Amino acid sequence: MRCGISCSTNRSSPMGNQNRFFAELASHSPQQPVSITPSKDTQYVITHPTIITWRNFVRLTSVLLGFALALVFASMPALAQDPVKAAPQAFKELLNNSEVRVLEYSSKPGQKEAMHSHPAILLYVIQGGKLKSTAPDGTSKEMEYKTGDIQWREAVTHTGENVGTTEMKSLLIEVKHGRKR
């Protein structure tokens, strides 16, 4: 693979010619190849039509950085933590094997949990209460749970807050899929 710029220089050529060459490179339109001959003994030839100037490098870097940041922010819900790690005061792991994972949830009035994610779960309410769930986009909804309720909930990433007047307790059962029988 050849370098995009080839140059041969007579060592006795004045430095001013080299500076003029690089100034010409910086102002060059990338659509046309350039040949610059500042003196009889020194010749610079650009063989590749694309010239990366500092300005274009900064632009390209900014665009790539913008895409990278957009990708990171778009995947933020996927990066939310496991509930046991994000809110250990509310979640306790009771069982974790190849078939299921069972969490005990306990939340006192006014208690809040940090952003966390659940896969699809089976929810069994031991002691009812009222919870406020807030999604990563800021939308929130309040839900009332009654003692003895059993619900299937799809996967969710959210924060939780007990907005009721009673302590709420429940079991969350995560069924692990993909098991070979």
pLDDT mean values, one per 10 residues, the chain (181 residues): 43 51 56 53 52 75 79 57 94 95 97 94 96 95 96 94 96 81 51
- Which tens digits make up the pLDDT trace of 31-48? 555 555 555 555 554 445
Q: Do residues 145 and 106 make contact, with C-beta atoms less than 8 angstroms apart?
A: no
- Which tens digits make up the pLDDT trace of 120-140? 999 999 999 999 999 999 999
Q: Do residues 86 and 113 make contact, with C-beta atoms less than 8 angstroms apart?
A: yes
What are the extents of the domains in the chain? 5-74, 83-175
Residue 9, token pair as written in the block: 């220089």
C-alpha 113: how far from its chain's center?
A: 22
In this structure, which CATH number among 3.40.50.300, 2.130.10.10, 3.90.79.10, 2.60.120.10 belongs to the domain 83-175?
A: 2.60.120.10
Helices in 75-135 by DSSP H: which ranges?
76-79, 83-86
Q: Which helix (H) or strand (E) holds 45?
A: strand 43-46
Beta strands in 128-167 (DSSP E): 129-134, 140-145, 150-153, 156-162
10 Å Cβ neighbour count for 40? 8
